[in-house]
Amino acid sequence: MNRLRFLFVISAICVLRGIAQPLLAKGDTFIVVIDAGHGGKDPGAKGVKTNEKTINLAVALKLGKMIAAGHDDVQVIYTRKTDKFVELSERANIANRNKADLFISIHTNSLKKKNASVKGGETYTLGLAKTQGNLEVAMLENSVILLEENYKQRYEGFDPNSSESYIIFEFMQNKHMEQSVSFASEIQKEFVAARRVNRGVRQAGFLVLKATSMPSVLIELGFISNHEEERYMHSVEGQNKLAKAIYNAFSRYKRDYVRKQGGITNTQIIGKAENTLQSQKKEQQNAKETAKNRPRSETNEKSRGTIVYKVQILTSDKRLPAHSPKLKGYKTNFYQEGKIYKYTYGESSDFKEIQKIQRKISKDFPEAFIIRMKDGKRLK
């Protein structure tokens, strides 16, 4: 009887906390596909001492080894483990066939001007490129299809070197965008912790991400066109640090994934149950104190029923306070798509006027772009 009472209490705590027993997709196995970009006859970007395909593979293998050692319930699948050419469509097919839970594509960036001062890491999710720089990165990575036979038929006439081909990404609605942005954000946080220059989370039209049916990111580790960056990425120490940063981000992402699935150990439940009421009260109090300082949502009675233009400056997987350094002192509004908060500045029914506003803030937000909204919702 006492044993039954104990189990009932534990079950009740789990229900109150919204926690179930450990449960992962596909028979308690989380599947991650690691894609080392380029390979074989496709060297990718070239540096002075090495090339992109070599760096990508080295970091990918180190990352996979770390994940396999640190997570018994994770199956690691590679699109390539050796220096071989894999068609872009096949990389996505590998992930789709194995019903992966996460797709990580690893790449190395480059500028045409060698030894350029630009450096740092950035992580991309699928979407329309908002800047010329983002578009050029996508063009560079997508151009690998030109090495494939019958690429025009396979990719339905897509021309990786034509900006017009990328218009299709404007109308794409990726149901995994929220998870992709969340993971990308974790990667960039870890790059900062590893003392890397943070170039942020970005969007662009990558074919390999378009074809996957799970949360997916494409990581640009650094710039091989910068001699200092090339030496770092070519070194074992640099590769270990980069792999470790991505591994740490993966571990946090998977932990959150398991929690959302209801998977958390009894030890964790018991440890947290003691402070449940206190923590809930504290969270409620903190919410009340910070609510006054948060940016306003896009609901505006004056503009209700009319189409207005706004400048979108950034996105976040968390709601930002008005004094957040990310907002740089601007008085902003936000709207939500899923659990992603999208922040805007300015409002006008005159397109020329909103263009002026965009130019005015371009130094602080170079990737800002104009959107149309009606009744607090973005028009596509």
Q: What is the DSSP string of 113-124?
A: STT-S---EEEE
CATH code of the domain in which 318 resides: 3.30.70.1070
285, β-bridge pairs:
none
Q: State the total domains in the chain.
A: 2
**pLDDT-derived band at 101, boundaries 50, 70, 90:** very high
Pair 131, 81 in one domain: yes
Residues 247 and 303 in one domain: no
Instruction: List, in sequence order, every residue forming a beta bridge with 312; answer none if it has no partner.
Output: 344, 369
Structural domain includes residue 90: yes
Residue 363: phi and psi, rounded to 5, are -70, -40
pTM above 0.85, yes or no: no
Boundary (domain end) residue, out of 261, 285, 317: 261
Q: What is the pLDDT of residue 3?
A: 46
- The more confident residue out of 226 and 141 is 226
User: Could you report the per-residue pLDDT of 248-303, keeping only the tens digit for each?
Assistant: 999 999 988 877 766 543 323 333 333 444 545 555 555 555 444 455 555 555 55
* C-alpha to C-alpha distances, 215 to 72, 73, 87, 94, 240, nearest whole angstrom: 21, 18, 20, 14, 24
CATH number assigned to the domain comprising residue 147: 3.40.630.40
Q: If we measure between CA atoms, which residue out of 300, 295, 299, 301 comes closest to residue 314?
A: 295
Domain co-membership, 186 together with 115: yes
**206 and 67 inside one domain:** yes
Alpha-carbon span 108 to 126, nearest angstrom: 17
Same domain, 57 and 199: yes
Biggest alpha carbon–alpha carbon distance for the chain: 76
Do both 246 and 116 map to the same domain? yes
Domain boundary among 237, 261, 285: 261
Domain presence at residue 69 = yes
**Lowest mean pLDDT segment, chosen from 62-71, 100-109, 224-233, 293-302:** 293-302
- At 31-53, the pLDDT tens digits run 999 999 999 999 999 999 999 99
Q: Note whether residue 215 is domain-resident.
A: yes
Instruction: Give the SS3 label for residue 200.
Output: strand
Q: Give start and end residues of each alpha helix (H) in the chain.
A: 2-17, 25-28, 52-70, 88-97, 132-142, 151-154, 177-193, 207-210, 227-234, 236-261, 266-273, 276-291, 351-360
Q: Is residue 285 part of a domain?
A: no
In this structure, the answer to whether residues 110 and 164 fall within a common structural domain is yes
Residues 213 and 320 in one domain: no
User: In this structure, are 306 and 251 located in the same domain?
Assistant: no
Domain containing 108: what range?
15-261
Q: Which of 209, 242, 261 finishes a domain? A: 261
Coil/strand/helix, residue 330: coil
Element (H, E) at 312: strand 307-316
